[in-house]
Amino acid sequence: MPISYHEERHFGEFGGQYVPETLLAPLEELTEAYKTFASSEEFQKDFKRIVSEYSGRPTPLTYAQQLSRDLNREIYLKREDLNHTGAHKLNNAIGQILLADRMDKERIIAETGAGQHGVAVATVCAYFDKECIVYMGEKDIKRQSLNVYRMELLGARVEPVKTGARTLKDATSEAIRDWVTNVENTHYLLGSVVGPYPYPDMVRDFQAIIGEETKEQFQTQTGTDPDGLVACIGGGSNAMGLFAPFLDNEEIELFGVEAAGEGIDSGRHSAPLVTSGHGVLHGSKSYLMSDEDGQVQTPHSVAAGLDYPGVGPQLADLKEKGRLQVKAVKDDQVIKGFKYLSALEGIIPALEPAHVFGLLAEEPDWLGDCEQVVINLSGRGDKDVLEVAEYEGRDLLAGGEAE
Ligand SMILES: *Cc1c(COP(=O)(O)O)cnc(C)c1O
């Protein structure tokens, strides 16, 4: 964990703090708290204890036998799907709630897209007995009603956001607005490696437990380091969490997979790194989906967790430097990836990491010379089964084939 992987407020030309003046002091307070508490031995001990006792870490590193045969190389899956609540997001939520507790913040706010981050936040708020308000776009509320109900069961208040595209970007803006007003007693528990400093650093360092475990497990299982690492990229937290402990070794290749949605040319996608526009969104500079007038575009993906027009500044920098290779995958290929891994390995992936499997099923050569590869299986697919069936024209709740 903490503060070990980066010290600056910028990653090359990306990152920074592009925020209204009212947010500078809260960000400074958070930075100070993060540096003081998170690096302390006591904090790290609490973090390790909770991710183990409550979330079930370490998650396994699974050698994927059938997938390896099919792709003609050794493939290992980092099983973040086996975390409590079903995805990697709980790692960050546990880190930040511990920090909020140290800072005596009793009110927690968050934004959510797929609902996975909202569920993670509602979960840790219940566990720490904190008030929890989750901002969520109205459109996401509709397509992720199970997660909304989960959050309510967990004791959170889900606040519908009706502005803009009514998805994650708008929920994030609303959460920032709340934070400015209520900063005294409120911690904003941001869900990915985006936003102003210190969030991209802090979230990465909490998620780096993924890469740290992977490094150790891979050494134990093979006696060496992997030569390729692959992750899907929404905001970028599961990718940065896996990559962080391996960044020093330039020989390890990094692969990121974005959502091409209905196709890059259609404009209906969530692939800022592939489409290469730059801009400022939610407090930091990064790659950003924007049109010729600089207006932020509305993102689209079949995977609600990738439905964000921006991306973490460190990933932007890694791409800019040529260290990170990126491709985007269309929705229909993602559905294939979802079914491909399920049938091949007995693991139903979330639609977000299904992007990786959809791509590799079609283009295994993208991995080049990499012979030993770790794929971050960021979450499980239970939440997506109904949507996939519907995509294929089946209405399971009505009891079979759709019209
Ligand atoms: C939210 C989510 C993602 C995307 O977020 P990152 O910050 O890019 O990791 C990926 N996979 C799953 C399962 C998610 O829930």
- Residue 160, helix vs strand vs coil: strand
Check pocket membership of 57 for ligand 1, CB cut-off 6 A. no
Check pocket membership of 195 for ligand 1, CB cut-off 6 A. no
163 CA distance to ligand 1 centroid (A)?
A: 23
Model pLDDT, residue 270 = 93
Query: CA-based diameter of the chain, in Å?
Result: 59
Model pLDDT, residue 40 = 94
Task: Kindly list the structural domains of the chain, giving each domain's residue range(s) and its CATH number in brackets, ordered by start.
Answer: 61-86+208-395 (3.40.50.1100)
CA atoms of 200 and 30, how far apart (whole Å):
13
Ligand 1, residue 380: give the atom nearest the CA.
Answer: 13
Check pocket membership of 313 for ligand 1, CB cut-off 6 A. no
Do β-strands 186-188 and 157-161 pair in parallel, antiparallel, or remain unpaired? unpaired
Check pocket membership of 207 for ligand 1, CB cut-off 6 A. no
82 CA distance to ligand 1 centroid (A)?
A: 14
Model pLDDT, residue 401 = 58
Model pLDDT, residue 349 = 98
116 CA distance to ligand 1 centroid (A)?
A: 8
Residues involved in catalysis: 89, 111, 378
Check pocket membership of 305 for ligand 1, CB cut-off 6 A. yes
Model pLDDT, residue 2 = 44
User: Which residue's CA is minimally distant from atom 5 of ligand 1?
Assistant: 234
What six digits make up the tokens of 205? 């360092």
103 CA distance to ligand 1 centroid (A)?
A: 27
User: pTM for the complete prediction?
Assistant: 0.95
Check pocket membership of 203 for ligand 1, CB cut-off 6 A. no
CA atoms of 284 and 274, how far apart (whole Å):
19
CA atoms of 323 and 18, how far apart (whole Å):
26
Do β-strands 253-261 and 228-232 pair in parallel, antiparallel, or remain unpaired? parallel
What six digits make up the tokens of 273? 């790194």
Dihedral over Cα of 142, 82, 260, 267: its sign: positive
CA atoms of 331 and 260, how far apart (whole Å):
7
* Contact present, 355 and 257 (Cβ < 8 Å): yes
Q: Which of 192, 209, 273, 341 to mutate to test the pocket of ligand 1 (most atoms within 8 A of CB)?
A: 192
300 CA distance to ligand 1 centroid (A)?
A: 15
Model pLDDT, residue 3 = 45
236 CA distance to ligand 1 centroid (A)?
A: 7
Ligand 1, residue 192: give the atom nearest the CA.
Answer: 7
Model pLDDT, residue 168 = 84
* Contact present, 106 and 130 (Cβ < 8 Å): yes
User: Which residue's CA is minimally distant from atom 7 of ligand 1?
Assistant: 237
Check pocket membership of 384 for ligand 1, CB cut-off 6 A. no
Model pLDDT, residue 1 = 45
Check pocket membership of 148 for ligand 1, CB cut-off 6 A. no
The tens place of each residue's pLDDT in the chain, 403 residues long, gives 444 556 679 999 999 999 989 899 999 999 999 999 988 999 999 999 999 999 999 999 999 999 999 999 999 999 999 999 999 999 999 999 999 999 999 999 999 988 889 999 999 999 999 999 999 999 889 888 889 999 999 999 999 999 998 988 889 889 989 998 999 999 999 999 999 999 999 999 999 999 999 999 999 999 999 999 999 999 999 999 999 999 999 999 999 999 999 999 999 999 999 998 999 998 999 999 988 787 888 888 999 889 888 999 999 999 999 999 999 999 999 999 999 999 999 999 999 999 999 999 999 999 999 999 999 999 999 989 999 999 999 988 887 555 5
CA atoms of 17 and 5, how far apart (whole Å):
19
User: Which residue's CA is minimally distant from atom 3 of ligand 1?
Assistant: 305
* Contact present, 268 and 261 (Cβ < 8 Å): yes
User: Which residue's CA is minimally distant from atom 4 of ligand 1?
Assistant: 234
